[in-house]
Amino acid sequence: MSGVIWSKDGNYLKINPDGSIKTNEAETKGIFPLDVDKIVTTADMKVGTYTIAAQPTAPCLLSVTVTAVGTADTMGTIAFVGTDISGAAQTETVTPVAGSTVYTTKEFATVTSATGAGWVIDGVEGTKDTITIGVSSAVSGTGYYFSTIQVLAQAVVASQTNVTGAITAQLSDFTALPAGAIIPVKLTKIALTSGEAIGILART
């Protein structure tokens, strides 16, 4: 939903069509914890539509994690239908990997459906692999990078991707980042295990 303005601690935030957030201070993106099963809780893989448990807190990449049960099944694909930050319909199809996590390349604001196709149970034990679908990291987007991280609630960083050639603190080395911390960085991607933060964007 573009153009939506809401209040948090007395400050305004306006959601832009490109997925960024305009505050009274800067262009920002909300950064929220990784949650590997927020969208689809643990379920047997199948051909068909999975039950959607919840929606993303903010526009983000979606994660697809598969746990092999015995011999890995033939994965097939997962097709997502939903909307982007502007409310426009979007779709993306990903190919899961047994024993690993893969991600969408598009950020989803809502997820209408997640549908499996081409999955085949293994022919050895005949046990179904399991799948979870969750929310992933915040990405700066083309032409931007995160120049500052403002921690709103004590946060633990799971991973980060630095701007090529930049010298930036490895935030995941810290046990936790305290609420209120304002940290200069040069990142294109960051993921939290817990907490909440705002990433302030700068143009490359």
Instruction: Give the residue from 104, 114, 131, 134 showing the smallest Cα distance to 38.
Output: 134
Across residues 32-58, what is the average pLDDT? 94
**Cα–Cα dist 32/48, whole Å:** 29
Under the banding of pLDDT at 50, 70 and 90, the label for residue 10 is very low
Over 60: is that where the pLDDT of 202 sits? yes
**Cα–Cα dist 130/148, whole Å:** 38
For 110, residues 6+ apart whose C-beta sits below 8 A from its C-beta are 55, 56, 82, 83
**Encoded tokens for 134:** 């969750």
**Encoded tokens for 193:** 């295990």
What is the three-class DSSP state of 173? Answer: helix
Least confident of 129-133, 165-169, 195-199: 195-199
Under the banding of pLDDT at 50, 70 and 90, the label for residue 127 is very high
- Calculate the CA 78 to chain-centre distance: 16
In percent, how much of the chain has pLDDT > 90?
Answer: 64
Evaluated on CA atoms 103, 192, 171, 31, the torsion sign reads positive
When the pLDDT of each residue in the chain is averaged and rounded to a whole number, the result is: 86
Residue ranges of alpha helices (H) inside 62-108 are none
CB 142 within 8 A of CB 43: no
Across residues 173-196, what is the average pLDDT? 93
